[in-house]
């Protein structure tokens, strides 16, 4: 786990803050991979020292009679094999191992164990005695003698190494009953299984060391009591544990490895994700479990209930264990201080009232350690030797050579930063005073896994989501609710007490519009488009064109008018259709109803005309109306169909109207020339016109100045003109008494027409639909030969008709 974490970039962070030397770090990592037995201090030196001891011992002392201890009972081989996994995993460093280590680890299980174990124990004891002046002063010479009473076969080297560096005098509570498997760690469990539950009696041999390790359950064996009792040294040894030089890490810069606190987080580049931890939160410390496993068959010392004082050098060893028992220690007590753990509780609460009070006291008071040790043991359990006041005194003079037994609760195998964080956390926790809750929380070894910083971080994210520029828009219901609440409170209080509920104040951050400006490199063509969630790619370049109100109104008006015209046209059409169908219906209806039908028909036709004509004048078509209707294609068609049904007079009026408005109509008709539909009916009408009417028509057609030219531009206009002219010609030629010539109008008109025809450039003269044949004869009447020829050419009038 640790190793895995170290693969990412946090590794560098660790290197900066954490370990001092590369080598140490590597060793650290390697140690971690060794599993539970791995330690983080320099085992090499330890090995050397112990090796020296071993040699010295081998020279000086003989083998100790440790038969009584019965290594075999321990599951002899198991004892060493159990601890062998760690050393086994250290096989990568075989070369550096001093020979004694090898000899120890490769001992044949039952036979030499006694001896080797005794040797080691003795050497260790000597080390302790030699190292610690206090102990030495107490019972130096009797050391070996004591050993004879039954030093346990030593734990394997790794354990030895573990012992020295940290004064494992952490208090350990002992469960009153058998351990529940679920409460032990996995490794503990394994050890248990492997060991097969060693008999109690045999565990006494491990007494010192295991006690000094400070974990694990301890059971009482009466047999050993006497043994234990009679050696003050033993008790002292038990008390003191195995002092040793502090781990190099510690000595370097006083960094402390906190047991459970994770190393500091690196700031994560990813927004919204918590900073990464090198060691995952809640990484259980590596060491204690194995120890617990080893020591779970500890023997109670019936006499003294000692509390081990947490020792700590302020400057050198930052508070490793300020006020509390290490969580793992507590766990090793086979219980968690949490009331009613979720697991089936096989054990009762760990700490007795006194101990709890003591712990609370020590924590709440924020004790600078060293004074009051946390209570170690439950009432019924085993206990650790008590270490009273001494450590603080001895701090000063002693931290040079031998580290005083410092209670470093199971922190050896933690990453240095981890340890430091844990101590910091414990410090901060020491200030907690929240009554019962605080008490309960502080007793929870896993509390505050989420640091204050993390909590603030989550809170910050939640706050960010609450920011808004328009709270009533974003969170209407909450605002209302809050107002109601405030009013209610005011009402309740009546202003007696000015107690205001805390109101959440969120920063009013103006929401800035961030427009995406594509990244552009200097000197490059085009722009990079990197799309992300926050600036998505532009799919379509949409441009909003908003029309102004005026324009809208005008457009609307136009549309409305057109709609109206169309509506009128439609209505007229319906009438027209009925008129058209009249014939058919007439045939079908019986005689009686024919009269009615006829009437109806007449009405319709009148109606039709009525819609066209002028308000007052009956015989004149309303220009406006006509224009409107004719502006629509359908309207033109309508008129063309309508004319045949109209009475002659009215029809003539319509045609007149058309002629009158022809320029306008022509202009509108440029596109689709729908006027041409009108040719046929108009022709019919013209042929029925009187001469006067004809003249009038021609006059209308000519209308104002310049009208004719416009007319000529239009096909229909030209055609109409021709029609008129040809009609006039026909009149003249057919009827000698034609009144056409009576007044000069006709002549003048024709003259003007011819003039116009001659003047008009050919391009603007649109070809007619058809050219009446008698035009030539008409023109020949009025113009001379020269002009006639010109006209002929222009109009492409063939003289074939002649």
Partner 1 sequence: MNYMPGTASLIDDIDKKHLVLLRDGRTLIGFLRSIDQFANLVFHQTVERIHVGKKFGDIPRGIFIVRGENVVLLGEIDIDKLCDHILQQVSIEEILEEQRLQQQAKQKTEKAKVTALKDRGLSIPKADNLDEY
Binding footprint of partner 1 on the chain (CB under 8 A): 182, 272, 274, 281-282, 336, 338-344, 440-441, 444, 446-450, 454-456, 458-459, 461-463, 466, 478, 482, 501-504
Looking at the Cβ atoms of 440 and 516, the one nearer to partner 1 is 440
The 10 Å Cβ neighbour count of residue 393 is 11
Whether 269 contacts 276, CB under 8 Å: no
Which lies closer to partner 1 via its Cβ, residue 389 or residue 452?
452
CB of 40 to partner 1, least distance (A): 24
**What is the closest distance, in whole angstroms, from the C-beta atom of residue 338 to partner 1 in the complex?**
7
Q: How far apart are CA 367 and CA 369, in angstroms?
A: 5
Calpha distance 546→542 (Å, rounded): 12
Nearest distance from C-beta of residue 341 to partner 1, angstroms: 6
Nearer to partner 1, 446 or 782 (CB): 446
Residue 238 CB partners (closer than 8 Å, separation 6+): 207, 208, 211, 212, 301, 384, 385
Which CB contacts under 8 angstroms, 24+ apart, belong to 702-705? Answer: 702/749, 702/752, 702/753, 703/659, 703/660, 703/662, 703/663
Cα separation, 188 vs 196, whole angstroms: 12
Cβ distance 778 to 747 under 8 Å? Answer: no
Give whichever of 272 and 761 is closer to partner 1, judged by the CB atom: 272
Q: With both helix axes pointing from N to C terminus, report the angle between 715-734 and 744-759 in degrees, rounded to the nearest 10.
A: 140
Residue 337 C-beta: closest distance to partner 1, Å? 12
CB of 408 to partner 1, least distance (A): 24
Residue 5 or 625: which CB sits closer to partner 1?
5
Q: Which is nearer to partner 1, 343 or 567 (CB)?
A: 343
Residue with Cβ nearer partner 1 (52 or 444)? 444
| Shortest distance in whole angstroms from residue 376 CB to partner 1 | 23
Three-class secondary structure of residue 706 per DSSP: coil
Instruction: Return the number of the residue (315 or 436) whose C-beta is nearest partner 1.
Output: 436
**Closer CB to partner 1, 369 or 443, in the complex:** 443
Task: Closer to partner 1 by CB, 459 or 610: give it.
Answer: 459
Report whether 581 contacts 604 (CB < 8 A): no
The whole-angstrom separation of Cα 771 and Cα 796 is 9
Rounded CA separation 14/8 (Å): 11
Q: What six digits make up the tokens of 684?
A: 């019919």
Residue nearer to partner 1 on the CB measure, 506 or 589: 506
Residues in Cβ contact with 707 at an 8 Å cutoff, skipping those fewer than 6 apart: 662, 663, 701
Please compute Rg for the chain using Cα positions.
Answer: 58
List alpha helices for 399-451, DSSP H. 416-430, 435-443
Nearer to partner 1 by Cβ, of 503 and 514: the residue is 503
- Compare residues 201 and 506 and give the one whose CB is closer to partner 1: 506
**Which C-beta is closer to partner 1: that of 189 or that of 745?**
189
Measured on CA atoms in the order 361, 363, 366, 367, is the torsion positive or negative? positive
String of b and e for 200-211 (b: at least 16 CB within 10 Å)?
A: bbbbbbbbbbbb
Q: Is 43 buried (19+), middle (13-18) or exposed (0-12) by CB count in 10 A?
A: buried
Q: Identify the helix (H) or strand (E) that includes residue 466.
A: helix 452-466
Among residues 264 and 768, whose Cβ is nearest to partner 1? 264
C-alpha dist (Å) from residue 736 to 656, 729, 775: 26, 11, 18
∠ CA 317-323-326, nearest 5°, is 80
CB of 450 to partner 1, least distance (A): 4
**For residue 299, what are the β-bridge partners?**
219
Nearer to partner 1, 182 or 733 (CB): 182
Cβ neighbours around 103 below 10 Å, total: 17
Closest CA to 158 of 291, 9, 295: 291
List C-alpha distances in Å: 44 to 158, 247, 259: 10, 12, 23
CA-CA distance, 307 to 373, in Å (whole number)?
6
Least Cβ distance, residue 342 to partner 1 (angstroms): 4
Smaller CB separation from partner 1, 496 or 504: 504
- Min dist CB 502 to partner 1, Å, is 3
Instruction: Tell me how far, at minimum, the Cβ of 292 lies from partner 1, in Å.
Output: 18
Which residue shows structure tokens 């009916």?
A: 681
DSSP 124-177: HHHHHHHH-HHHHHHHSTTHHHHHHTTPPPPPPHHHHHHTTTSB--------SS
| Crossing angle for the helix pair 232-240 and 222-229, to the nearest 10 degrees | 100
Q: Smallest gap, in angstroms, from Cβ of residue 553 to partner 1?
A: 51
Q: Which of 360, 364, 341, 363 lies closest to 351 in space, CA to CA?
A: 360
Closest CB 440 distance from partner 1, rounded Å: 8
Report the distance separating Cα 733 and Cα 778, nearest Å.
9
């Amino acid at each position: 786990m640790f190793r895995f974490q170290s693969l990412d970039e946090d590794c560098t962070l660790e290197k900066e803050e954490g370990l001092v030397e590369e080598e140490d770090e590597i060793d650290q990592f390697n140690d971690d991979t060794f599993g539970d037995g791995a330690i983080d201090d320099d085992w090499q030196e330890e090995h050397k020292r112990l090796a020296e001891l071993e040699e010295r011992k081998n020279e000086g002392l003989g083998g100790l009679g440790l038969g009584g201890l019965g290594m075999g009972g321990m599951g002899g081989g198991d004892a060493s094999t159990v601890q062998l996994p760690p050393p086994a995993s250290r096989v990568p460093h075989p070369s550096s191992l001093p020979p004694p280590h090898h000899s120890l680890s490769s001992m044949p299980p039952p036979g030499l164990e006694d001896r080797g174990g005794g040797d080691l124990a003795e050497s260790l004891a000597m080390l302790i005695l030699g190292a610690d002046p206090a102990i030495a002063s107490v019972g130096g010479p009797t050391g070996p003698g004591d050993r004879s009473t039954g030093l346990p076969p030593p734990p394997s080297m790794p354990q030895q190494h573990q012992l020295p560096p940290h004064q494992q005098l952490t208090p350990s509570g002992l469960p009153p009953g058998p351990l529940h498997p679920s409460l032990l760690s996995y490794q503990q469990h394994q050890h248990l299984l492997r060991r097969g539950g060693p008999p109690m009696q045999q565990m006494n041999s491990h007494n010192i060391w295991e006690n000094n390790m400070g974990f694990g359950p301890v059971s009482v064996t009466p047999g050993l009591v006497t043994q234990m009792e009679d050696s003050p040294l033993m008790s002292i040894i038990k008390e003191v544990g195995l002092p040793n030089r502090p781990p190099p890490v510690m000595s370097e810069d006083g960094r402390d490895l906190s047991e459970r606190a994770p190393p500091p987080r690196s700031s994560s580049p990813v927004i919204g994700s918590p900073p990464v931890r090198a060691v995952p939160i809640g990484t259980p410390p590596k060491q204690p479990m194995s120890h617990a496993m080893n020591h779970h068959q500890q023997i109670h010392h019936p006499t003294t209930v000692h509390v081990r004082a947490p020792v700590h050098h302020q400057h050198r060893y930052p508070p490793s264990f300020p006020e509390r028992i290490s969580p793992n220690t507590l766990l090793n007590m086979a219980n968690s201080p949490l009331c009613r753990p979720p697991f089936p509780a096989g054990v009762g609460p760990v700490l007795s009232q006194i101990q709890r009070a003591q712990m609370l006291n020590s924590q709440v008071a924020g004790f600078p350690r060293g004074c009051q040790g946390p209570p170690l043991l439950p009432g019924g359990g085993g206990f650790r030797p008590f270490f009273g006041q001494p450590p603080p005194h001895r701090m000063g003079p002693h931290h040079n050579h031998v580290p005083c037994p410092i209670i470093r609760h199971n922190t050896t195998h933690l990453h240095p930063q981890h340890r430091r964080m844990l101590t910091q956390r414990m410090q901060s926790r020491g200030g907690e005073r929240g009554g019962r809750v605080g008490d309960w929380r502080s007793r929870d070894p896993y509390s505050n896994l989420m640091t204050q910083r993390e909590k603030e971080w989550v809170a910050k994210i939640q706050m960010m989501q609450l920011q808004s520029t328009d709270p009533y828009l974003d969170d209407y219901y909450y605002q209302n609710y809050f107002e109601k609440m405030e009013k209610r409170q005011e009402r309740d209080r009546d202003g007696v007490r000015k107690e205001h509920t805390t109101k959440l104040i969120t920063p009013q951050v103006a929401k800035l519009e961030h427009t995406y400006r594509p990244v552009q490199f200097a000197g490059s063509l085009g722009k990079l488009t990197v799309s992300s969630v926050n600036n998505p790619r532009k799919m379509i370049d949409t441009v909003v064109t908003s029309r102004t109100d005026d324009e809208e109104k005008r457009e609307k008006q136009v549309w409305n008018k057109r709609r109206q015209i169309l509506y009128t046209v439609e209505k007229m059409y319906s009438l027209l259709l009925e008129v058209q169908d009249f014939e058919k219906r007439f045939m079908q209806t019986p005689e009686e109803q024919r009269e009615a039908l006829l009437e109806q028909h007449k009405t319709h036709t009148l109606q039709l005309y009525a819609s066209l004509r002028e308000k007052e004048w009956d015989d004149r078509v309303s220009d406006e109306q006509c224009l409107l209707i004719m502006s629509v294609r359908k309207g033109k068609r309508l008129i063309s169909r309508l004319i045949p049904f109209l009475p002659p007079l009215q029809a003539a009026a319509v045609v007149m109207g058309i002629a009158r408005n022809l320029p306008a109509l022509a202009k509108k008709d440029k596109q689709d020339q729908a006027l041409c539909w009108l040719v046929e009916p108009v022709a019919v009408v013209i042929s029925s016109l009187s001469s006067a009417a004809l003249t009038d028509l021609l006059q209308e057609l000519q209308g104002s100045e310049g009208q004719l030219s416009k007319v000529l531009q239009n096909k229909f206009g030209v055609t109409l003109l021709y029609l008129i002219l040809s009609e006039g010609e026909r009149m003249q030629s057919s009827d000698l008494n034609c009144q056409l010539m009576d007044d000069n109008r006709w002549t003048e008109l024709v003259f003007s027409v011819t003039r116009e025809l001659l003047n008009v450039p050919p391009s603007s003269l649109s070809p007619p639909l058809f050219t009446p044949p008698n035009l030539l004869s008409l023109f020949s009447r009025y113009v001379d030969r020269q002009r006639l020829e010109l006209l002929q050419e222009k109009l492409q009038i063939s003289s074939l008709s002649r």
